[in-house]
Amino acid sequence: MASEGKNYKVADIGLADQGRMKIEWAESRMPVLMALREEHAKKQSFKGARIAGCLHVTKETAVLVRTLRAAGAEVSWSGCNPLSTNDEVAAFLAADGASVYAWHGQNVEEFYWCIDRTLDFKPTLTLDDGADLIFTVHNRHKELAKTIIGGTEETTTGVHRLRAMAADGKLMYPVFAVNDSETKWDFDNVYGTGQSSLDGILRATSVLVAGKTFVVAGYGHCGRGCAMRAKGLGANVVVTEVKPTAALRATLEGFRVMPMDEAAKIGDIFITATGMKDVLVKHHFESMKDGAIVCNTGHYDCEINLVQLGGIAQAKRTIRPNNEEYMVQGKRIYVLAQGRLVNLAAAEGHPSEVMDMSFANQFNALLALHQKGPGGYPLGVHVLPAELDQQIAMLKLKTQGVGIDTLTAEQIAYATDYSAGT
């Protein structure tokens, strides 16, 4: 039975106190966002803003929500994945006065019901991770787009889709690609995904990674992070790719690269990180070894074709949380987290320290849109100025007690001097 109030629907509002402890823990590890909170709470920089958010309801997201609210925004939130909501965190946010519509284990109809509820207060800004909220506005609530100043998008897959929409002339308001800030993609996507995906695999299986053949499909930033961390745990890492430069990079970073048709036969653990559908399909499952473990860390759940796996499986049972065994021609294949984001469904997502920078970028992007107001940015997909990346990185370094050098005036002049060569 869910708990419902005037402006929330969560699994159990009684979990709020446990949620509070988790959020306090995250706050102690997110100094950049907390510094933004302190500065903008004083200024009430988001006064008048109504922000609808559709992003994993985790302890880190709660720190962002509380920061936006402290800075004067009204906020209404839903999760961006049916399995990623932390019910304790959702309960605390609701008890704290935010509008929250999210619970773990919802079905697709409930998922979109929650998104619809976050649109009830007619937002001035939208925040997405995977673009489902912005698609909902464009597909079913077009009238709202007229009063939405702009939106933000957290993830690579979402940004690709929004760029395609903009190129087609279909995007109805400007969007900031938060993913494309250096202090997001070069940290969250690599170190965040790497650690949290391995964390999810370990929580769902508790297998020894050392000595296993660990197949990473896709060597973008997320795949690279997974490969790096699996190698660190002693796995023999194999990479599959479709992009020649990415495949080449993987070989120079010490990994074996081969087509999935070959990797499928030798892998013990498979993780998909491609953003593409049908990375693992029927003939791959048929050629896998007995006991193979399969999971996904891409945003959508289409990378592992579970319909095809279900079609060839003689039996299926749940072995332990987030771990289902499929019997295929006498062999066992284990699917983690129903092929959804293993790092968020089976673990807690990226650690707070890395989300600190990602969400500082979210905050800055929303603030830029709010401050410029309606018509302030042209239609299209925008990227935050590079100076903001350096500010975020500098602040992060400071909180880590790390100092760096500064260029002298002569060095700055040298950097732009085109009169002298060798």
- Which range, of 2-10, 16-24, 57-65, 161-169, touches ligand ADE by CB under 6 A? 57-65
Q: Please report, to the nearest 10 degrees, the dihedral formed by the alpha carbons of residues 200, 206, 210, 214 taken in order.
A: -50
Integer CA distances (angstroms), 200 to 137, 193, 412, in order: 32, 10, 46
Nearer to ligand ADE, 61 or 136 (CB): 61
Is 396 one of the binding residues for ligand ADE (CB under 6 A)? no
d(CA 124, CA 142): 14
Contact string 355-374 vs ligand ADE (x = CB under 6 A): x-------------------
Is 152 one of the binding residues for ligand ADE (CB under 6 A)? no
d(CA 390, CA 364): 13
Smallest separation, CB 153 to ligand ADE (Å) = 13
Is 29 one of the binding residues for ligand ADE (CB under 6 A)? no
The residues facing 177 across adjacent strands are 153
Cβ burial 223-256 (10 Å sphere, 16+ → b, else e): bbbbbbbbbebebbbbbbbeeeebbebbeeeebb
> Which residue intervals of 71-125 are DSSP H helices?
87-95, 108-119
Is 340 one of the binding residues for ligand ADE (CB under 6 A)? no
Which of 185, 238, 349, 368 forms a contact with ligand ADE (CB under 6 A)? 349
Report which DSSP code applies to 280.
B
Picking from 158, 77, 56, the residue whose alpha carbon sits closest to that of residue 123 is 77
Measured in degrees and rounded to the nearest 5, phi and psi for residue 23 equal: -70, -40
Smallest separation, CB 69 to ligand ADE (Å) = 17
Nearer to ligand ADE, 10 or 355 (CB): 355
Q: Which residue is nearest to ligand ADE (CB)?
A: 349
Quick one: tokens of 156?
């690579």
3-class secondary-structure state, position 147: coil
Is 221 one of the binding residues for ligand ADE (CB under 6 A)? no
d(CA 385, CA 388): 6
Instruction: Work out the widest C-alpha separation in the chain, in whole angstroms.
Output: 74
Is 60 one of the binding residues for ligand ADE (CB under 6 A)? yes
Is 342 one of the binding residues for ligand ADE (CB under 6 A)? no
Contact string 109-138 vs ligand ADE (x = CB under 6 A): ------------------------------
Is 389 one of the binding residues for ligand ADE (CB under 6 A)? no
d(CA 328, CA 208): 24
Size of the site for ligand ADE (CB under 6 A): 11
**Helices 386-399 & 352-372, crossing angle to 10 degrees?**
140
The answer to whether 238 and 263 have CB atoms below 8 angstroms apart is yes
Nearer to ligand ADE, 275 or 349 (CB): 349
The residues facing 239 across adjacent strands are 216, 257
- Which range, of 58-66, 290-298, 391-399, 413-421, touches ligand ADE by CB under 6 A? 58-66
Is 52 one of the binding residues for ligand ADE (CB under 6 A)? no
Quick one: tokens of 310?
């279900």
The answer to whether 178 and 358 have CB atoms below 8 angstroms apart is yes
Contact string 299-338 vs ligand ADE (x = CB under 6 A): ----------------------------------------
- Which range, of 33-41, 51-59, 317-325, 380-388, touches ligand ADE by CB under 6 A? 51-59
- Which range, of 52-60, 176-184, 226-234, 379-387, touches ligand ADE by CB under 6 A? 52-60
Is 189 one of the binding residues for ligand ADE (CB under 6 A)? no
Smallest separation, CB 344 to ligand ADE (Å) = 6
List residues near ligand ADE by CB under 6 A.
Answer: 55-56, 58, 60-61, 192, 196, 344, 349-350, 355
